[in-house]
Amino acid sequence: MNDNRNEALKQSGVLFVLFGATGDLASRKLYPAIYSLYREGKLSDKFAVLGLARRQRTREEFHQDVLASIQEFARFKVNPEDPSWQKFVERFTYMPLNTNDAEAFGRLNELAGELEQKYRIAGNRLFYLALAPELFGNVASNLKSGGLLDCEGWHRLVIEKPFGYDLPSAEKLNEQIQEVFQEQEIYRIDHYLGKEMVQNIDVIRFANAFFEPLWNNKYIANIQITLSETVGVEERGGYYDHSGALRDMAQNHMLQMVTMMAMEPPSRMHPEDIRDEKVKVLKALRAFTSSEEVRSNVIRGQYIEGMMKGKPVPAYRSEDKVDPQSTTETFFAAKVLVDNFRWAGVPFYVRTGKRLPVKTTEVVVEFKKVPENVYLASRTDLAPNLLVFRVNPSEGIYIKINAKQPGSDWTILPIAMDFCQSCGVDLNTPEAYERLLFDAARGDSTYFTRWDEVALAWRYVDRIAQAWSGDKTDLQLYAAGSWGPDAANELLHRDGFHWWPVNGQEESEVVWVESRPQ
């Protein structure tokens, strides 16, 4: 089916209408993604990009912006003197636009029609809103009144997180958008779903006969999901102090990762069937019913001054645009339970934070130990088997098993069979935004979040936020450069587990058997 979609996109073409064309997201992610799609032949010559922002830019200045973006961030090299570059960049047009000026959208529609005629595009328009969420509803309304949705082909809307601040605000925002666009025309981006190893989770689970029979509470002891960042809030202090780790990371990225690990096999490889299974997981999450349950199962922390790579870094409350008395969390950890037949009793431990010692996204599946006092387990303390998905910055999987130490009688050591997907020579894998932008253009919504997913995720985290709003005393401080508050470790210790070392901090006793791409 995807082959048919790919060919249809090449034949009919697409006009990318990009709001926020002078912003950081466009520069760092979107222009490099479009260039990669072009270089790989996923876009034919039937495409154009119409950039929109308040700032005044000439066509030549806009082209220089696009060139600088691609030179710095794209995975393909570019030579501005190459005729192929000129052929590519000539398809980029800029128009200054005030999103509150309804009449300007009529002129925008005229320009869009001119570009479609010039590049033989069959009226297909992809509107990408790299804007603040409070502008989504107004822009959607003006797109309709300006005639931009009266095109001959399809029209789709791509929007970035955060999608609301809580469930009521998300519902209001969704109502505004759905007055103009139908649900199947709305593509809500969570860029973690575009990452290679996140998409590989389903393949590894469902395409290997020796994993799926073990993927349940009879054999799995716990699952650990870590999304750690070494940076602080940087220039995002104003936004972050309003959202915090719970809304910025847990409501979207972390719960999406939980659904990928816990979902049932879909009946078909169809986007709606896959998303149906993710919704079932979100419905099965055990909701916290009291502030005491939240306090017992959820940890929130905030970094204070510390050392990162031998250099002192300031406390969160000293960061630019952050309230000096802020109680916003920069660290979040929780014990999440999925109350269904497959996962009953298996804890999902999740954690995310800023100013942690290692930048990584990693999922660890810890299998139950073999029965104690039986055969080999009676002679030595056997380590549990692990299956680890490394998502970022390196991509790959490894499996840790127990094996006899060569030359010994019964000395058993853990060994890890490691496959690093991103270590291959000349391996140039697509970026997350490249995959997702391509999927949106060809109408594949598999790795975009549907409204009911968004609503269920907000309903889950809102209970946590409500408990926190009435109690400021449970905010725990941690030194920058550490792994967060000690209470995050206690979440696992009381269940008899511990956080496994993540990428860059492997266990010293593990013997590594590496499998590298040749």
Residue 123 zone, left/alpha/beta (φ > 0; ψ -120 to 50; rest): left
Q: For strands 412-420 and 396-404, give the pairing.
A: antiparallel
Domain with residue 263: its CATH number is: 3.30.360.10
Task: Give yes or no: residues 393 and 467 share one domain.
Answer: yes
From first to last of its 518 residues, the chain has per-residue pLDDT tens of 567 888 989 999 999 999 999 999 999 999 999 999 999 999 999 999 999 999 999 999 999 999 999 999 999 989 999 999 999 999 999 999 999 999 999 999 999 999 999 999 999 999 999 998 889 999 999 999 999 999 999 999 999 887 889 999 999 999 999 999 999 999 999 988 888 889 889 889 999 998 989 999 999 999 999 999 999 998 888 889 999 999 999 999 999 999 999 999 998 888 899 999 999 999 999 999 999 999 999 999 999 999 999 999 999 999 999 999 999 999 999 999 999 999 999 999 999 999 999 999 999 999 998 877 666 665 677 889 999 999 988 888 989 988 887 876 777 778 888 888 767 645 556 789 999 999 999 999 999 999 999 999 999 999 999 999 877 788 999 999 999 999 999 999 999 999 998 865 544 445 545 444 43
Nearest one of 329, 303, 301 to 487, comparing CA atoms:
301
Which of 160, 184, 213 delimits the end of a domain?
160
Quickly list H helices, 269-325: 271-284, 291-297
Task: Give yes or no: residues 203 and 129 share one domain.
Answer: no
pTM recorded for the entire structure: 0.92
Task: Give yes or no: residues 406 and 263 share one domain.
Answer: yes
Element (H, E) at 502: none
Q: Pick the catalytic residue: 63, 155, 191, 253?
A: 253
DSSP, res 285: B
Residue 310 zone, left/alpha/beta (φ > 0; ψ -120 to 50; rest): left
What is the distance between the alpha carbons of residues 19 and 353, in angstroms, rounded to a whole number?
30
Q: How many CB atoms lie within 10 A of CB 56?
A: 9
Task: Give yes or no: residues 206 and 107 share one domain.
Answer: no
Which of 138, 160, 182 delimits the end of a domain?
160
Quickly list H helices, 179-223: 196-206
DSSP, res 272: H
Residues 6+ apart with CB under 8 A from 208: none
Q: Is residue 186 part of a domain?
A: no
Task: Give yes or no: residues 465 and 328 share one domain.
Answer: yes
The residue behind tokens 């999740």 is 350
Task: Give yes or no: residues 147 and 269 share one domain.
Answer: no
Q: Is residue 188 part of a domain?
A: no
What is the reported pLDDT for 392?
86
Q: Are the CB atoms for 362 and 503 separated by under 8 Å?
A: yes
Q: Is residue 177 part of a domain?
A: no
Element (H, E) at 37: helix 31-39
What is the reported pLDDT for 376?
66
What tokens appear for 300 in the block?
């929130």
Q: Is residue 134 part of a domain?
A: yes
Task: Give yes or no: residues 152 and 216 share one domain.
Answer: no
What is the reported pLDDT for 518?
39
Task: Give yes or no: residues 443 and 385 share one domain.
Answer: yes
Is position 191 annotated as part of the catalytic site?
A: no
Q: Is residue 187 part of a domain?
A: no
Domain with residue 83: its CATH number is: 3.40.50.720
Q: Is residue 481 part of a domain?
A: yes
Q: For strands 186-188 and 155-159, give the pairing.
A: parallel
Task: Give yes or no: residues 199 and 326 share one domain.
Answer: yes
Residue 86 belongs to domain spanning: 2-160
What is the distance between the alpha carbons of residues 159 and 136, in angstroms, rounded to a whole number?
8
The residue behind tokens 């995050």 is 488
What is the reported pLDDT for 511?
54
What is the reported pLDDT for 108?
97
Q: Is residue 170 part of a domain?
A: no
Q: Is residue 151 part of a domain?
A: yes
Task: Give yes or no: residues 197 and 148 share one domain.
Answer: no
Task: Give yes or no: residues 346 and 484 share one domain.
Answer: yes
Task: Give yes or no: residues 49 and 197 share one domain.
Answer: no
- Triad 206, 207, 211: Cα angle to 5°: 65
Report the domain count for the chain. 2
